[in-house]
C-alpha cells in the first residue's frame, strides 16, 4: 500500500477529504514512493481557525519562554539529524551531506531566533515633552503563512518558523508537494519541544490551497520562496488583500573571474557552486565570467577537465558529488534548456543529457553540462535553468563583466574572484545585486544578517531572517504617556514587597 503524507493540524496528523493527491517520487529510481494529500479550501480555513486559538496562548507567553521552546527544538532536530537527512534525501535527491547542510543552515536561524527577548526590545525616550515619555513595543501580527519550495525542504521552513514563532505568531506552512515529509516531521518536533497545539499547522496542496491562504482575512502576512513568476503573483495577491509579503524568486548568479584570481580555488569553488546539489539552488553559480582571453581559456580548459570527473549517483552514496534532480518534469525542463543553448549557438563542451546510472535507468539523473561562448542575447542565459549546467560568458574587462549581473533580470547573488582589494571593493559597492561574495562562491549570509536579492529575485521590502525577519513578523506600537500631578487621594497604591 502506498504511503500517504497527511496534513498536520491542531497537533495531530489529519487525513484530508479532498480525494486529490500529488505523487512523491524517489528521484533515484523514478518510482512513486508515496502520495501527499491536497487540502480543500475548507480544510485550510479550519487550520487557520485552529491557529488563531493557539496563537492567543502562544503570544501570551513571555519571549524567554518562547525562546526555551526553540532551544529544545534545536536539540530535538540535532538528535534526529541522520533520520531527517535520509528522509529529505529520499524525496529530494540531494546527497546526504547536502541534506544535513540543509538542516544545519535552518537550525542556524533557529539559534538566532532564540535571542528573541533581546530582539523584541522596543525604544524609550524620557521627557520627549513636559512630563511626557514615549516608548514603543513590537507585537506579533497574528496568523501568518509560509509557502516553501522543493529545493530546501528543511532550511527554508525553519527560516520562516524561527522568525514567525519566536515573535509570537502562529504559522500555516504549505510546503512543496514534491518533498513534504520533512516539513511535517519538523512540525511534529516543534510540538514535542513544547509549542502549543495549533500554533504551527502544515497543510499540503497546490494553487487551490495557496489561493485560500492568500485570500483569507485572518492571514496577516505571507513569506514565500520559489520561482519569480509565482513570487510576483504572491506579491500582487497579497497587495490586493492587504497582507504583508516576502516573495523571493529565481536567480541567475554570476561569478566574475579576474586575471589575478587563484585559479585552483576558482575551479574548486565552481565545481561545488555550479554542480553541487545538481544545481537546484537559488544561490548556485551557473554563470562564469572570466575576464580576458587568457583567463577564459585557462578556466574553461580546467573546469571542463574537472567537471568531467564528477561522480553522479544515488543520493545515499557518500562517494558521489551529486544525485538526481527532483522530478521527471524538472529533468525534462533542464534538458530543454540544454538543447536551447545548442540551438542558440553556444559551444557545448560537456553534455549531461542521456546520463544513465546502471540499475537506476529511470532515475532523474543529468550529468554535468558546460557551455562556452554564451552571449547575453541567448534565452538560455536570460532565464534560470536550475540544474547542473554551467555557462561561460567571456568579458574583456571588469567593467564589461560587472555589467552582466547588473543588467540581468535577476539580482540574487554574485561573486568576484580576485586578489585586488580595491577592485573587489568597487565591485561590491556598485554591482546591482542583493548579495555579493568576494572569493566566496555562494554568499548566503549568516543567520544574524539577512538573505535577499534584488530585481526579479525578490518582490519585498524586507529580507529573510535576521533583524529584517523580526521586523517583518511584528508590528510596532508606540505609546506617548503623561501622568497627572497633584494629590491622587484614594487612588494611592502601595508597591507590593516580597515576603
CATH number at residue 100: 3.40.605.10
State the greatest distance between any 2 C-alpha atoms of the chain, in Å, as a whole number.
Answer: 91
Indicate whether 450 belongs to any domain: no
CA 156 to chain centre: 4
Active centre residues (catalytic): 282
Enclosing domain of residue 138: 3-249+457-479
Indicate whether 498 belongs to any domain: no
Indicate whether 426 belongs to any domain: yes
* Strand runs labelled E in 265-388: 287-290, 347-350, 369-372
**Same-domain check for residues 241 and 258:** no
- C-alpha to C-alpha distance for 98 and 101, rounded to whole angstroms: 5
- C-alpha to C-alpha distance for 119 and 106, rounded to whole angstroms: 19
**Same-domain check for residues 61 and 204:** yes
DSSP 498: -
**Same-domain check for residues 67 and 160:** yes
**pTM, 2 dp:** 0.93
CB-count burial class (<10 Å; 0-12, 13-18, 19+) for 194: middle
**Same-domain check for residues 362 and 428:** yes
Q: What is the dihedral of CA 260, 261, 267, 270, to 10 degrees?
A: -130
Whether the Cβ atoms of residue 255 and residue 469 lie closer than 8 Å to each other? no
Grid coordinates given for 408: 540581468
**Same-domain check for residues 292 and 236:** no
Q: How many CB atoms lie within 10 A of CB 221?
A: 22
Indicate whether 490 belongs to any domain: no
**Same-domain check for residues 426 and 287:** yes
Strand partners, 254: 287, 414
Grid coordinates given for 349: 563542451
Tally of domains in the chain? 2
- C-alpha to C-alpha distance for 148 and 235, rounded to whole angstroms: 15
**Same-domain check for residues 213 and 280:** no
Q: What's residue 461's pLDDT?
A: 82
DSSP string, 53-82: HHHHHHHHS-HHHHHHHHHHHHHHHHHTHH
- The answer to whether the Cα torsion of 387, 389, 394, 397 is positive or negative is positive
**Same-domain check for residues 245 and 381:** no
Whether the Cβ atoms of residue 315 and residue 96 lie closer than 8 Å to each other? yes
Query: Which residue has cell 479550519?
Result: 46
**Same-domain check for residues 60 and 204:** yes
**Same-domain check for residues 272 and 416:** yes
State residue 246 phi and psi, 5-degree precision: -120, 115
Indicate whether 499 belongs to any domain: no
* Strand runs labelled E in 442-473: 454-455, 458-459
Indicate whether 37 belongs to any domain: yes
Query: CB neighbours of 494 closer than 8 A, spacing ≥ 6?
Result: none
**Same-domain check for residues 65 and 107:** yes
Grid coordinates given for 337: 534548456
Instruction: Say whether 166 sits in a helix, a strand or coil.
Output: helix
CA 326 to chain centre: 16
Query: Which residue has cell 497587495?
Result: 239
CA distance from start to end of the chain:
65
Helices (H) and strands (E) in the chain, counts: 16, 23
Q: How many CB atoms lie within 10 A of CB 297?
A: 13
- pLDDT per residue, tens digit, the chain (499 aa), is 789 999 999 999 999 999 999 999 999 999 999 999 999 999 999 999 999 999 999 999 999 999 999 999 999 999 999 999 999 999 999 999 999 999 999 999 999 999 999 999 999 999 999 999 999 999 999 999 999 999 999 999 999 999 999 999 999 999 999 999 999 999 999 999 999 999 999 999 999 999 999 999 999 999 999 999 999 999 999 999 999 999 999 999 999 999 999 999 999 999 999 999 999 999 999 999 999 999 999 999 999 999 999 999 999 999 999 999 999 999 999 999 999 999 999 999 999 999 999 999 999 999 999 999 999 999 999 999 999 999 999 999 999 999 999 999 999 999 999 999 999 999 999 999 999 999 999 999 999 999 999 999 999 889 999 999 999 999 999 999 999 887 665 555 555 665 4
Grid coordinates given for 114: 532564540
**Same-domain check for residues 218 and 322:** no
CATH number at residue 263: 3.40.309.10
Indicate whether 222 belongs to any domain: yes
- C-alpha to C-alpha distance for 89 and 99, rounded to whole angstroms: 6
- C-alpha to C-alpha distance for 35 and 180, rounded to whole angstroms: 10
Query: CB neighbours of 342 closer than 8 A, spacing ≥ 6?
Result: 348
Pairing of strands 143-147, 170-174: parallel
Indicate whether 429 belongs to any domain: yes
- The answer to whether the Cα torsion of 191, 195, 198, 199 is positive or negative is negative
Residue that is last in its domain, among 383, 411, 438? 438
DSSP string, 270-292: HHHHHHGGGG--TT---EEEEBS
Instruction: Say whether 209 sits in a helix, a strand or coil.
Output: helix
Q: What's residue 20's pLDDT?
A: 96
Amino acid at each position: 500500500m502506498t504511503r500517504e503524507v497527511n496534513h498536520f493540524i491542531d497537533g495531530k496528523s489529519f487525513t484530508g477529504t479532498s480525494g486529490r493527491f500529488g505523487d512523491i517520487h524517489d528521484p533515484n529510481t523514478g518510482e512513486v514512493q508515496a502520495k501527499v494529500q491536497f487540502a480543500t479550501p475548507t480544510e485550510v480555513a479550519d487550520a487557520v481557525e485552529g491557529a488563531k486559538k493557539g496563537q492567543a496562548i502562544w503570544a501570551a507567553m513571555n519571549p524567554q519562554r518562547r525562546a526555551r521552546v526553540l532551544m529544545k527544538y534545536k536539540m530535538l532536530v540535532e538528535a534526529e539529524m541522520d533520520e531527517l537527512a535520509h528522509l529529505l534525501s529520499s524525496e529530494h535527491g540531494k546527497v546526504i551531506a547536502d541534506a544535513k547542510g540543509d538542516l544545519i543552515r535552518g537550525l542556524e536561524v533557529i539559534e538566532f531566533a532564540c535571542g528573541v527577548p533581546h530582539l523584541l526590545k522596543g525604544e524609550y525616550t524620557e521627557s520627549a515633552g513636559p512630563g511626557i515619555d514615549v516608548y514603543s513595543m513590537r507585537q506579533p501580527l497574528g496568523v501568518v503563512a509560509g509557502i516553501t519550495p522543493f529545493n530546501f525542504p528543511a532550511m527554508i521552513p525553519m527560516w520562516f518558523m524561527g522568525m514567525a514563532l519566536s515573535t509570537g505568531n502562529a504559522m500555516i506552512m504549505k510546503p512543496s508537494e514534491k518533498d513534504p515529509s520533512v516539513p511535517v516531521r519538523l512540525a511534529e518536533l516543534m510540538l514535542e519541544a513544547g509549542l502549543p497545539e495549533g500554533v504551527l499547522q502544515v497543510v499540503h496542496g497546490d494553487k487551490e490551497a495557496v489561493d485560500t491562504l492568500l485570500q483569507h482575512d485572518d492571514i496577516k502576512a505571507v513569506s514565500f520562496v520559489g520561482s519569480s513568476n509565482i513570487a510576483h503573483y504572491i506579491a500582487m495577491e497579497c497587495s490586493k488583500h492587504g497582507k504583508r509579503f516576502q516573495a523571493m524568486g529565481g536567480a541567475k548568479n554570476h561569478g566574475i573571474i579576474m586575471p589575478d584570481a587563484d585559479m585552483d580555488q576558482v575551479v574548486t569553488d565552481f565545481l561545488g557552486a555550479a554542480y553541487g546539489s545538481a544545481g537546484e539552488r537559488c544561490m548556485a553559480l551557473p554563470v562564469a565570467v572570466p575576464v580576458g582571453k587568457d583567463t577564459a581559456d585557462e578556466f574553461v580548459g580546467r573546469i571542463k577537465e574537472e567537471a568531467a570527473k564528477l561522480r553522479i549517483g544515488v543520493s545515499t552514496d557518500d562517494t558521489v558529488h551529486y544525485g538526481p534532480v527532483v522530478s521527471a518534469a524538472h529533468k525534462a525542463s533542464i534538458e530543454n534548456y540544454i538543447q536551447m543553448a545548442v540551438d542558440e549557438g553556444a559551444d557545448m563542451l560537456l553534455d549531461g543529457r542521456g546520463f544513465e546510472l546502471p540499475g537506476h535507468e529511470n532515475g532523474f539523473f543529468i550529468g554535468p553540462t558546460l557551455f562556452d561562448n554564451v552571449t547575453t542575447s541567448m534565452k538560455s542565459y536570460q532565464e534560470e535553468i536550475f540544474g547542473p549546467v554551467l555557462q561561460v560568458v567571456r568579458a574583456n574587462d571588469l567593467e564589461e563583466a560587472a555589467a552582466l549581473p547588473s543588467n540581468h533580470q535577476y539580482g540574487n547573488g554574485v561573486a568576484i574572484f580576485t586578489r585586488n582589494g580595491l577592485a573587489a571593493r568597487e565591485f561590491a559597492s556598485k554591482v546591482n545585486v542583493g548579495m555579493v561574495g568576494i572569493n566566496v562562491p555562494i554568499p548566503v549570509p549568516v543567520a544574524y544578517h539577512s538573505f535577499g536579492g534584488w530585481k526579479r529575485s525578490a518582490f519585498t521590502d524586507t529580507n529573510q531572517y535576521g533583524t529584517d525577519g523580526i521586523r517583518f513578523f511584528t508590528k510596532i506600537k508606540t505609546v506617548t504617556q503623561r501622568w497627572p500631578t497633584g494629590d491622587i487621594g484614594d487612588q494611592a497604591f502601595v508597591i507590593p514587597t516580597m515576603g
